[in-house]
Amino acid sequence: LFDLSGKVAIVTGGAQGIGKGIALRLAEAGASVAVSDINLESAQATVGEMKKMGYKAVAVQSDISKVAEAERTVQETVKHFGDLHILVNNAGVYPFASTETMTEATWDKTLNINLKGLMFFSQAAVRAMAAKGHGGKIVNIASVDGLHPTGNLLSYDASKGGVIMLTKALAKDLAPKGINVNAIAPGAIVTPGASGGLAGMSQEQIDAVTKAFLATIPMGRQGTPDDIGRVALFLASDAADYITGSVVVADGGYLVG
Ligand code: NAD
């Protein structure tokens, strides 16, 4: 059921964090994976690790906020692996900004990466799937913040709310083409990006913040990239053939807490 042998996938922002967790699970299931990232060195390091594990992977540098890079990334992937069946729109940024501190630059950057990038990577992937005469699976990484604002993340919350509605709109648009589009809304996942928010704090401060934070998660632990990788594997597989336009919340119970 979760066999992805013969399938080709692109994971944006696949070099580290949640994207890497997803790339590893898809590759373990037999998919050939294009690890697309703005940071080529980091993508190459991840691909190196994956190849050592016997997986099929290639690094493709792309800045998803640039529309032309979507088409190029998809073309490079198809050239390398011969096809495309799965797109995981994962790359995203989460700059802190309140009403008072929001700038046009922060707003545009967040929306261009988190929302515009996802739209045009999907468009390019759909064209490639259609050219090959088959459907496919698109998995979008939203956030619990797209359903419930955490605070001080205004452009991020707006972008992730947009990801959830765009997922539903794409699902409706693409169902006749045999393309399923679903989203995952992760809660607090331990990644290099998320840890960046703690930079500059003393260990005492980090311990206090972490303790307060864990109290909001009924399961009492933060998630791992693999917690999300396994959900993405499910949504990218035949097991999810009748699921489209859905949002799977993977947050250790945070939203019901
Ligand atoms: P991360 O910062 O650890 O990794 C993000 C990766 O994306 C990096 O490798 C980075 O180089 C790449 N990237 C950044 N901008 C890019 C661009 N313009 N084009 C291509 N690649 C780019 O992040 P993460 O915590 O793993 O988050 C991944 C996704 O999951 C994001 O969409 C984020 O919003 C979402 N998410 C994260 C959490 C969490 O707690 N970590 C929770 C909910 C949702």
**Measured from the CA of 225, which atom of ligand 1 is nearest?**
26
Q: Is the Cβ atom of 39 under 6 angstroms away from ligand 1? A: yes
Q: Is the Cβ atom of 183 under 6 angstroms away from ligand 1? A: no
Tell me if residue 94 is catalytic.
no
The number of angstroms, rounded, from the C-alpha of 23 to the middle of its chain's C-alpha atoms is 10
Residue closest via CA to ligand 1's atom 19 equals: 63
Candidates 113, 114, 88, 93; CA nearest to 24 is 88
Decide if 1 is inside a domain. Answer: no
Instruction: Report the DSSP pairing between strands 32-37 and 136-141.
Output: unpaired
Decide if 50 is inside a domain. Answer: yes
* Cα 76 to ligand 1 centre (Å): 22
Candidates 61, 74, 71; CA nearest to 136 is 74
Decide if 139 is inside a domain. Answer: yes
CATH number of residue 174's parent domain: 3.40.50.720
pTM value > 0.90 = yes
- Position 1 pLDDT exceeds 90: no
Decide if 238 is inside a domain. Answer: yes
**Measured from the CA of 156, which atom of ligand 1 is nearest?**
34
Decide if 135 is inside a domain. Answer: yes
Question: What is the pLDDT at residue 184?
Answer: 99
- Domain encompassing residue 59: 8-251
Residue listed under structure tokens 């990788």? 229
Candidates 79, 82, 42, 78; CA nearest to 59 is 42
DSSP 218: T
User: What confidence tens digit (pLDDT) does each residue in 119-146 have?
Assistant: 999 999 999 999 999 999 999 999 999 9
Decide if 225 is inside a domain. Answer: yes
Decide if 3 is inside a domain. Answer: no
**Measured from the CA of 142, which atom of ligand 1 is nearest?**
44
User: What confidence tens digit (pLDDT) does each residue in 137-178 have?
Assistant: 999 999 999 999 988 999 999 999 999 999 999 999 999 999
Q: Is the Cβ atom of 192 under 6 angstroms away from ligand 1? A: yes
Decide if 155 is inside a domain. Answer: yes
**Measured distance CA(47)–CA(53) in Å, rounded:** 10
ipTM over 0.90: yes
Domain count, the chain: 1
**Measured distance CA(12)–CA(245) in Å, rounded:** 20
Residue closest via CA to ligand 1's atom 18 equals: 63
The arithmetic mean of pLDDT across residues 8-14, rounded, is 98
